[in-house]
Amino acid sequence: MKKKLFITRKFPAQFVEPLEEHYDIEQWEEEETVIPRAKLLAAVANCEVLWVTIADQVDEELLSHAPNLKLVTNLAVGFNNIDVPALRKRGIMATNTPGVLTNTTADLVFGLLLATARRIPESERYLREGKWQSWYPMQLVGKDVSGATIGIIGMGRIGQAVARRAKGFDMKVLYHNRRRRHEAEEMYGFCYASLEELLTKSDFVVIMTPYNKDTVGLIGAKELALMQEDAVLINASRGGIIDENALYDTLKNGKLWAAGLDVFEQEPVALDHPLLTLPNVVVLPHIGSASLKTRTAMLMLNVNALMAYVQGKPLSNRID
């Protein structure tokens, strides 16, 4: 008898069809919308395997509706949408997609940094709205990136990839992490700093730390007050690490040059969110890993995990 698999989003057929030989598959038929919670809770009642995205909360409530669940496969490297201790308690395995999105996300981070520093989206709006009538010396002036100091909070794979790109712009790289990266310091000249020192000395602060109980609200009013008034804050990790209300107040009061955000505490972000009213905030719809090559690789990691499970083989990329 085939194992029951439920997929919470309509994925491209080329990734789903190879699984049909081994699984009895049901999937939510909307590609661009999240499955309503009530429908998800009903769908997991009989499934053994669940394939989810970061928009799907796998928590105690869901698990109480899924007595037969044995495996959760997550289409993301981060897994703050999954209650891992609750899974462990029930002997349920989970996998994610590490490694394959490192460079793609680092490219996006640096693109967001450049766009924010040089006011690129604001300048495009300026042109399209017919405001470009002449050239004058202080028109849409931005911040130089080359030669500036970048402070990276969270020096994992993606953080280090961002730091290597920064060296190509002759930037001084400070970083803060749970543990020192001595090899990277020796190889590239990265400098470890306390969080306070990093915030105080950096022209650009980039958040790349995972979201967990230790990092929720990590950057609040106190931390923002330590930053230079002409500094730029970039977050492409997870929403909730920054206190968004405090960030709005800081920007509105001219105590920070700008912010670039690919993530928000609530996603999709509400169109009436105060941060969206500020011209010096560049916002993106959580597209850090959104290249065709990378999303294909992520999906294939999930497919490989699903195939390994049904064939009784060890699972790679298990979330422990």
- Catalytic site residues? 238, 267, 286
Q: Is 133 helix (H, G, I), strand (E, B) or coil?
A: coil
Q: Phi/psi zone of residue 182: left (φ > 0), alpha (ψ -120 to 50 degrees), beta? A: alpha
Sign of CA dihedral 33, 37, 43, 46: positive
Distance in angstroms (rounded) separating the CA atoms of residues 188 and 63:
45
166 phi and psi angles, rounded to 5 deg: -60, -35
DSSP secondary structure letters along 233-300: EEE-S-TTSB-HHHHHHHHHTTSSSEEEES--SSSSPPTT-GGGG-TTEEE-SS-TT-SHHHHHHHHH
Strand partners, 176: 153
174 phi and psi angles, rounded to 5 deg: -105, 150
Cβ-Cβ contacts under 8 Å for 311 (sequence gap 6 or more)? 22
The answer to whether 250 touches 230, Cβ cutoff 8 Å, is no
Take residue 170 and report the two structure tokens written for it.
Answer: 């002759």
